[in-house]
Amino acid sequence: MQLDVVIFGGGAAGLWILDRLARQGHSVVLLEAGELGAGQTIASQGIIHGGLKYALQGLMNRSAASISEMPLVWRASLLGQRSPCLTNTRLRSGACYLWRTENWSSRLGMLGARLALQVQPEALSADETPDVLRHGTSTVFRLGEQVICPKSFVNDLYEQHSERILKIDAAHGLAFEIDSPGETRAIRLQSPDGSRELVLKPRHVVLAAGRGNRELRGMLGLSRETMQTRPLKMVVARGSLPELHGHCIDGAKTRVTITSDCSESADGRTVWQIGGQLAEDGVAYDDETQLTRAIAEIRDVLPGLDLTGVEWSCYRVDRAEKATTDGQRPEGIQTLCAGNVTTAWPTKLALAPVLADEVASRIGDPRETASWNGTEIADWPRPEVSRFPWELPEARWFGTDELDSTPSVTRRAA
């Protein structure tokens, strides 16, 4: 099957690139070895960041410049005013709240956050402040960073392009024919049930598989060491919790970031995802210690919140990126080109549109004779959309009372 482009990876990056190239007229398919969105996309909090974290740290670099426009770009897609049309993506919230701990460095941090942002924080009156944030002493701000449901976003793009998205068996049903490192002549696939084979002959290959890029690069004769991972240990709480989307700021750090959802597995209860510095530091701790830390943080940043009956869990997610010399987050999107292979990392969910623009510019226009015909792959298996981490059967839950009785000993992970 002759193609312009084959994309590996069905997360936010791969799906946005697929939409962009398909609308440009490319004959393009996307290959997914697991479930669509599994990993970074489905585990994300769905916040379309506009540069808050960079402004807090006083960084006016390429990261801040590239991400500052993203809330406006995504809003246009969510409203159906630009491609991709995301009118079927569920919007959890049109904005986030900001509040701060009451100390001098925190006040300086909020001042810094008001500089250099396209979407500026707006101070709220007492009447406008949500009940859950009225027990603190600091001013509460509203920031126009949308919060989307990642599962809904993935499903939205899947339904638009399902005829181009294929399920593959990466362990036993994938082989590359290469002429030299990164110069791909053909991709041989065997269907997951072993019933048929398919040979794809693309002009370009795009690796947008997050952590999976490492193994794919190795199979293509390229270095695996060009990628790094930075882990997080996110916390999940479920129970009779208020809906809340926002950041608690302390100096130049986002102490906690909370987003809310409600899934079928929660039986109508509100689910909080809790990230920020808590999740950054949490990889050093075992699960119960991390959850005990989370309860202490929530009580400190949201005084007066009743945690009776709330259950707690946590999950680890690895952020996959192009390697940097100091192991820190790269500035903006990252791409590497070798032969006819482009390896791509968006760095953040919000930057998927920027990455798609970059990849599309590198690939160029479709062949004049190219036209899409999916007849040959019409009956090929399709992947499912991933579940949220807290919906997985391996998720372990602890009650607030159970964790409160845990001895307050700092227990490091083995």
The per-residue DSSP string of 66-89 comes to HHTTHHHHHHHHHTTSSSSP-TTS
Q: Which residues of 297-306 are buried (b: 16+ CB within 10 A; e: fewer)?
A: bbeebbeebe
Residues of each domain in the chain carrying CATH 3.50.50.60: 2-41+153-226+323-377
Task: Give the integer Cα–Cα distance in Å for 278 and 283.
Answer: 9
Average pLDDT over residues 15-21: 98
Helix (H) / strand (E) containing 92? strand 91-93
Task: Give the residue-averaged pLDDT of 79-87.
Answer: 97
Q: Which of 327-344 are b and which e, b meaning 16 or more Cβ less than 10 Å from the residue's Cβ?
A: eeeebbbbbbebbbbbbb
HEC secondary structure over 369-405: CCCCCCHHHCCCCCCCECCCHHHCCCCCCEEHHHHHC
In this prediction, residue 95 has a pLDDT band, given cuts at 50, 70 and 90, of very high
Tell me the mean pLDDT in the region 51-58.
65
Compute the average pLDDT of residues 23-27: 95
Q: Which residues pair with 371 in a beta bridge?
A: none
Strands 28-32, 165-167: pairing kind: parallel
> What pLDDT is attached to residue 135?
85
CB 319 within 8 A of CB 327: no
pTM of the model: 0.92
pLDDT score of 11: 98
Which residue, chain included where needed, has tokens 């599309």? 360
In the predicted model, what is the mean pLDDT of residues 307-317? Answer: 96
Pairing between strand 174-180 and 183-190?
antiparallel
Q: What is the pLDDT of residue 236?
A: 98
Read off the pLDDT band of 54 (50, 70, 90): low
Paired with 319 in beta bridges are 230
Classify domain 91-146+229-319+389-404 at the CATH class level.
alpha beta
Q: What is the pLDDT of residue 339?
A: 96
**pLDDT for 16 beyond 60:** yes
Higher pLDDT, 403 or 102: 403
H or E segment at 122?
A: strand 122-123
pLDDT digits (tens, 9 = 90+) for 340-387: 999 999 999 999 999 999 999 999 998 865 578 889 999 999 999 999
Domain 2-41+153-226+323-377: give its CATH code.
Answer: 3.50.50.60
Kindly list the distances between the CA atom of residue 34 and the CA atoms of 8, 228, 387, 394, in Å, as whole numbers in the listed order.
11, 21, 12, 17
Q: How far apart are CA 15 and CA 152, in angstroms?
A: 13
Q: Which has the closest alpha carbon to 235: 290, 286, 285, 300?
A: 290
Q: Is the peptide bond before 366 cis (omega within 30 degrees of 0)?
A: no
- Provide the pLDDT for residue 244: 97
Contact in structure between 27 and 372 (CB atoms under 8 Å): yes
Q: Where in the chain is the domain with CATH 3.30.9?
A: 91-146+229-319+389-404
In the structure, what pLDDT confidence band is assigned to residue 109 with cuts at 50, 70 and 90?
low
